Structure 1
């Protein structure tokens, strides 16, 4: 795969993906999108990967589209390729953003696709689109109001203003703010706790439940919860979770299933 994204898998199954264009401040371009998508798709099907941490090389996370790309798109007659993002939004394993610096535009959307977000104390956030002469892109008009409410989302999208990590936390845009030097290790420690102590099949089911519940009524979500829980009752993960708790030891849950074999 391209070195536009670095990948490091530790012994506990935590995969760290690092946007690796520090000379361009990790500005988003086609190569970065392709490399990141390939890593995410591979991680979804790799039973060794139990959680993913996403961060940026250098002093930024991703400040939005690369300026050279923006210049090309601003030219008369330019067209925008429709790159798929659904595999990012519906990634089936815990994905934690370690936002180490500027996070704006498509960079902010990528952070919103993650399930939990850690921010460095010095990180800055902005939607940016309106200030670049663009409407809301990449589905952020759907994502952001569901996370921080309509008025807060409209405030950030209409103004395109920059906010700091403390305000991002107050709004619910991130859940943790830590010293900049610690943001990646803090996110990795959180991911490692999930990887070691939480049942992969249960975690995957919870992620899917949350996505489904966003489009359903409470009654439908409750019915679906009963259906899902029934498949775990009497099963190996519940037995192991109970036994490990009673015996005060680390659990040994079933791993993620092997990906299906491709016909050769």
Structure 2
């Protein structure tokens, strides 16, 4: 699939997804959002892809936030010029009725950044960020559901929403406190101040900081470390288990998920291969396909403990 505002390059099991609007500091648009979602769909369906790395084009920015070309109406989604691409046929053009009531289920109300965050959350491959410059607004929040974030020494993070008269988006009110703690989250979001890569690392927002010319290689090395010796379907399941259980109210939810996942995986050829290759002291040859063999389960409801 061809893209206009991103680039997707696949090589030796790694997909490099580059936000590509260097003349606008890779500012986020509706088209970019749709292309990111489509690229992740493509990567999940391609068993040759083991991990996805996000980065930005150019040296100045990973993503400078929402494109503010719309001026003061930028965040008034009811007035956006590109809204037609988000409206299914037959849906009213505005969520606001003539009497002033609002249809809160209308597609124009749904946050575009959140569409990206939720798609990353649902990804079946590890997703990493190689943050090569300014990561502001959605440029910061879209990185939060990623499994690892590596930053260039030139990177800057900014959760600037209150300074723009809006609020954090992209489900960041869920993700950010879990990554950096509530005290750091309120500090960053209330003040809207920019922090450098070193402070982002100290707060747990990024795992490591690298020289600009070494960032992508470091991210690729990290992606390979995560995936090279592991069964792809096991990685996909583990990714979903860990992220979902962060919001579970009781460990019994994890026990139910673990039990079903272990049962499903234990019956697979991958489990036999994992044990046999270990005993034979050789690299494993896992054959199960993420695209075709992923044992998806519906979200589990709370239930009494096993007897």
TM-score, structure 1 length as denominator? Answer: 0.89
Quote how far apart the aligned CAs of 1:181 are: 1.1
1:92-114 C-alpha deviation (Å, 9 max, x unpaired):
21001011111110011111121
Asked if the contact 1:46–1:259 (Cα under 8 Å) also holds between the matched residues in 2, the reply is no
Correspondence for 2:68: 67
Asked if 1:109 corresponds to 2:109, the answer is: no
Asked if 1:239 corresponds to 2:240, the answer is: no
Determine helix, strand or coil for the equivalent of 1:35. Answer: helix
CA distance in 2, matches of 1:224, 1:101: 38
- Select 1:141's aligned residue among 164, 167, 173: 173
Q: Is there any run of 5+ residues in structure 1 with no aligned partner, and where?
A: none
Q: Is there any run of 5+ residues in structure 2 with no aligned partner, and where?
A: 84-107, 294-307
Q: How does 1:1-264 map to 2 (within 5 A)?
A: 1-11=2-12, 13-59=13-59, 60-73=61-74, 78=79, 81=108, 82=110, 83=112, 84-85=115-116, 86-216=118-248, 217-233=250-266, 235-258=268-291
- The structure that has the greater radius of gyration is 2
Larger RCO, structures 1/2 (Cα 8 Å, 6+ apart):
1
| Equivalent residues, number | 259
CA distance in 2, matches of 1:10, 1:214: 32
Coordinate RMSD, CA, aligned? 2.2
Asked if the contact 2:269–2:288 (Cα under 8 Å) also holds between the matched residues in 1, the reply is no
1:101-131 C-alpha deviation (Å, 9 max, x unpaired):
1111001111112111111122110101011
TM-score, structure 2 length as denominator? Answer: 0.78
Cα gap change, 1:161 to 1:241, in 2 (>3 Å)? same
1:174-212 C-alpha deviation (Å, 9 max, x unpaired):
111121211111111221233321111110111111132
Q: Which moved more, 1:241-250 or 1:164-173?
A: 241-250
CA distance in 2, matches of 1:257, 1:170: 35
